[in-house]
DNA sequence: AGTGTATCCTGCAGGC
DNA sequence: TGCCTGCAGGATACAC
């Protein structure tokens, strides 16, 4: 899926496109991703105006006036496209699941091929309790290397699994976990609590560099991901290890390896990231 | 506590 | 060309 940088890119693209628009109606074409019934969901946003568009973890939040927000988790293949007829070079929605029609005639389509994404319309109260389950935002000023180090110290979990757990850190997925571990020279199989202070500092810096760099590039397009205007984005060419198994490490020339950890691919350079 | 497995889905690439 | 297998940015539930 879209991880933090992709969700952030979508939010930034969506903001000018839909802020201030009034929702005329919500049409549910595929109810799978809806965490409530169509009949309950559809009326909630009707007549409401989009006050702001925000991101928390990998979720896109469309905050409405009157105290509700539409929370979209994009899953693996979710997209939010402010059109049905794509601009030049962008893709038409192929698997529209929910379509919002605004009073001025414009649209927002939640398109999701694999239908792992979810859409909800939550009250402030409901959102607050949901939000409490996410760990800190890695790009927040309050997220320090010291915090990361002490949080890692309590877990025996492999550090790659630790980074993917949204309750520990919000927004990191498989691509950026791989990249941050590569840049900091930490093997993905290392136990979280084995990471020492200097390593935690390097990992902290790498996480932030990688996430900021990917936001600057508008995210990483591997297969399905598209930004808010349906275009591809540029971080893919900067990847150090993700999806590069069998290729030469850009730093030392060793062959990048792939291992399976908790049923998901982990990519690493055996030289730059020595095994525990 | 943490891991492996399975599940929800569709689509694509690669091997034969 | 088709068929088969494995793989995919996520999240969750289950047994062990």
Catalytic residue among A21, A58, A79, A160: A58
The catalytically annotated residue of A92, A128, A167, A264 is: A264
Is-catalytic flag, A44? no
Query: Is residue A264 flagged as an active site residue?
Result: yes
Beta strand residue intervals within chain A, DSSP E: 23-28, 50-56, 59-64, 68-73, 78-81, 96-102, 107-112, 118-123, 257-261, 264-268
Listed residue (A54, A44, A21) closest to A122, CA to CA: A44
Closest CA to A97 of A76, A113, A84, A82: A113
pLDDT at A208 (0 to 100): 97
Asked if pLDDT for residue A146 goes beyond 90, the answer is yes
The integer distance in angstroms from the CA atom of A192 to the C1' atom of B6 is 26
How large a percentage of chain A has pLDDT more than 90?
84
For residues A38-56, give the mean pLDDT.
96
Q: Give the Cα separation of A188 and A192 in Å (integer).
A: 9
Instruction: Tell me the CA distances in angstroms from A68 to A1, A98, A112, A146, one per residue in order.
Output: 25, 17, 23, 35
pLDDT over 60 at A228, yes or no = no
pTM over 0.85: yes
- Check whether A225 has a pLDDT greater than 70: no
Instruction: Mark the nucleotides of strand C covered by protein, meaning any atom under 7 Å from a CB.
Output: 7-12
Amino acid A58 CA to nucleotide C14 C1' distance, rounded Å: 25
Lowest mean pLDDT among A98-107, A167-176, A195-204, A228-237: A228-237
């Amino acid at each position: 899926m879209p991880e933090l940088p992709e969700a952030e890119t979508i939010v930034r693209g969506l903001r000018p496109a839909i802020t201030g628009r009034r929702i005329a109606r919500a049409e549910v074409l595929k109810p799978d991703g809806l965490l409530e019934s169509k009949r309950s969901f559809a009326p909630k946003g009707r007549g409401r105006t989009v006050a702001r568009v925000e991101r928390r973890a990998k979720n896109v939040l469309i905050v409405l006036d009157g105290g509700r927000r539409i929370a979209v988790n994009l899953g693996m293949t979710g997209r939010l496209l402010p059109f049905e007829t794509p601009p030049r070079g962008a893709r038409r929605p192929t698997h529209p699941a929910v379509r919002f029609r605004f009073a001025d005639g414009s649209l927002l389509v939640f398109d999701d091929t694999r239908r792992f994404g979810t859409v909800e319309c939550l009250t402030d109260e409901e959102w607050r309790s949901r939000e409490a389950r996410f760990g800190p935002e890695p790009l927040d000023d309050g997220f320090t290397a010291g915090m990361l180090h002490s949080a890692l110290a309590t877990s025996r979990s492999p550090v790659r699994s630790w980074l993917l757990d949204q309750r520990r850190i919000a927004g990191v997925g498989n691509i950026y976990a791989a990249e941050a571990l590569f840049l900091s020279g930490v093997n993905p199989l290392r136990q979280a609590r084995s990471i020492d202070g200097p390593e935690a500092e390097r990992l902290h810096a790498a996480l932030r560099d990688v996430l900021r760099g990917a936001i600057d590039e508008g995210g990483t397009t591997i297969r399905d991901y598209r930004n808010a205007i349906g275009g591809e984005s540029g971080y893919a060419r900067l990847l150090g290890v993700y999806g590069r198994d069998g290729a030469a490490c850009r730093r030392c020339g060793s062959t990048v390896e792939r291992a399976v950890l908790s049923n998901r691919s982990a990519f690493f350079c055996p030289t730059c990231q020595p095994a525990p």
